Structure 1
């Protein structure tokens, strides 16, 4: 008797098998990527491009994979396990603020302190369109916006202008600040300005250079008109609040750099140097906070999304104030009119209570929202 060969699988069956294999490969590849991101983010300069991953992708991609593998038969459990593992591994960086659903902060006491932190987008450099189409500066609008926040402490970043070559220029604006806020105390270093209703008993620009992995001879550049802009990315001011000292850190950390290093990376503008400076920003800040015996409030534009590991290198004594926000997915930075993700943060030590915290729309003055918080010691 002649044996009859089994018929070849029908084309639809073959396509389903290939589809299942592709889905499993995609789920496995995404899990490997997420694990690599947790390992390399903030550590390797060549991971800077993946570091710009939109945080919500760490949630959206595994959820889509779970939906895609649901119709599978044999491979469903394996695909779901890979997707869930990627979801869990990436959860700390997806930007979701789940605690906003249940966290209820205590009411603020009468002596609470209102703090407003904001990246001003090159101070009052926004150009307004005049009645005849002319373009003029509109600093009055800038100061009206600041007054509208009615804060006790203002932490302002990007106190500078830019040349057409993107070199920083100093702003001669402290006299007007003092006129606009009579009785307030003002501290400034580089691009950072702190304006406080409370006395400033100590002013300390945090220099990043002692924390660099290697010295960069042109840091700051010899021809810079704002040298501290290159070396001070955090300004600490100790404020006397109700007989106690509150240390307030006003930060604007380096932007992540993308690109290849030069063949001879010996300038501070090289990708390797900027990566080193960004890590030094965090080291300098962490070292100062760790050695500080006072209650601490840190706020500003950290140029760090929830997906970036550097955010988790801050000292353990600093607590993220995000649960006080009323948004499950807070956003502080927009581009081309589209809200993207969060770059601005507020942290405190446990002896500082955050009673209220919200993002304030910038009224067209900046690409960053402001951060308005009410705290007490």
Structure 2
């Protein structure tokens, strides 16, 4: 037991030192974050149980406190990456004022692709069929002023991304809304859009800036733009909405949660995207809201690249262990929402997709606080 407790402490210490900094540490990052709290808790229970079950021999008495101390140390060291949302216990919501903004962020899982078997790549086993009309009903049912939608893309059998021609349908489904698009991201706003641009990762890429785009690609923007900034004018205030879908740590050309698909190129693209995003937010004088699919759980140190002035909205969730993916086996939170000090979060809840996606949506009510 002592050896197990000390070994786990070493693993947690290495994780805190290496996660997000070196690409080859991505395998331990794939475990459910709760593991970093459960393992030391179980070790402590085992220590106490052993003491109660039988009177220890002298050598065992000497070793058992070492096991307890190691388990407690790993629990303290790993608490910050466990995904446990302790702040939800004491968070008190501020009532939303008149004119507050309702935001909905969601990874759509290849848009409405599964509604048309003629244009889809083979779905995962057990994936339910999709109803295109139901897809748009789900979006409208959120009653959002601003929608930040990811994976506005189809994929062919060879995993080649295909542009979606769906803006006309969106405008019909959301009359009066303004629409912005970049790469595989689309943002809808009931408020006027005063600025819209995709954030290119290439100025922040390490090594060959064009290496992220596969040879022969007919859609470079799918690979180079993973954040869409949209500034809207609401209630006399300009608010910047950042719609993000940061690269997966896994090679996207194949499927499944297979650690053998981890590689240096994906890690570099993730770092470049987060650095590009942080640089834009740091230079932005407007209050900013950032949400989307970061493909990063609380256990992944790469999130430290986010700007310091961005605050996680999770305390408003009211959940001790919020999860957004995969709805079929919900252990991970990889969809996030952040705000700068210029915004107040009044409500935050996760919305099940009911088979429309493998991600839950994020619905928030916010308002400018100055």
Equivalent residue in structure 2 for 1:234, among 206, 221, 227 = 227
3-state SS, counterpart of residue 69 of structure 1: helix
Q: Which segments of structure 1 move beyond 6 Å, counting only runs of 4 or more?
A: none
Gaps of 5+ in 2: 52-60, 118-127, 253-260
How far 1:362 moved relative to its partner?
Answer: 0.4
Q: Does 1:114 align with 2:102?
A: yes
Q: Does 1:252 align with 2:240?
A: no
Structure 2 length-normalised TM: 0.88
Distance 1:29 1:252, change over 3 A: same
The answer for the alignment partner of 1:187 in structure 2 is 180
Answer whether contact 1:126 1:365 (CA < 8 A) is retained. Answer: no
Q: Work out which of the two has the higher radius of gyration on C-alpha atoms and give 1 or 2.
A: 1
The answer for the alignment partner of 2:58 in structure 1 is none
Equivalent residue in structure 1 for 2:67, among 79, 102, 110 = 79
Answer whether contact 1:169 1:225 (CA < 8 A) is retained. Answer: no
The answer for the alignment partner of 2:326 in structure 1 is 334
Matches within 5 A, 1:262-273: 271-273=263-265
Structure 1 length-normalised TM: 0.87
The answer for the alignment partner of 2:91 in structure 1 is 103
Distance 1:334 1:164, change over 3 A: same
How far 1:84 moved relative to its partner?
Answer: 0.6
Answer whether contact 2:251 2:266 (CA < 8 A) is retained. Answer: no
Q: 1:162-214 deviations in whole A, cap 9, x for unaligned?
A: 01111110000001101111111000011000000011100121100111111
How far 1:222 moved relative to its partner?
Answer: 4.5
3-state SS, counterpart of residue 9 of structure 2: helix
3-state SS, counterpart of residue 330 of structure 2: strand
Equivalent residue in structure 1 for 2:27, among 49, 52, 66 = 49
The answer for the alignment partner of 2:82 in structure 1 is 94
Distance 1:279 1:136, change over 3 A: closer
Q: 1:63-107 deviations in whole A, cap 9, x for unaligned?
A: 011111223533222111100110011011101011111101100
Equivalent residue in structure 2 for 1:352, among 334, 343, 360 = 343
3-state SS, counterpart of residue 49 of structure 1: helix
RMSD, matched Cα: 1.9
How far 1:312 moved relative to its partner?
Answer: 2.3
3-state SS, counterpart of residue 54 of structure 1: coil
The number of residues matched between the two structures is 340
The answer for the alignment partner of 1:366 in structure 2 is 357
3-state SS, counterpart of residue 239 of structure 1: strand
How far 1:126 moved relative to its partner?
Answer: 2.4
Gaps of 5+ in 1: 1-22, 130-134, 260-268
How far 1:271 moved relative to its partner?
Answer: 2.1
Q: Does 1:317 align with 2:295?
A: no
Matches of 1:325 and 1:128 in 2, distance apart? Answer: 35
How far 1:281 moved relative to its partner?
Answer: 1.2
Matches of 1:253 and 1:80 in 2, distance apart? Answer: 39
Answer whether contact 2:249 2:263 (CA < 8 A) is retained. Answer: no
Q: 1:223-267 deviations in whole A, cap 9, x for unaligned?
A: 3233211000100011111111101000000001379xxxxxxxx
Moved more, 25-34 or 70-79: 70-79
Q: Does 1:200 align with 2:193?
A: yes
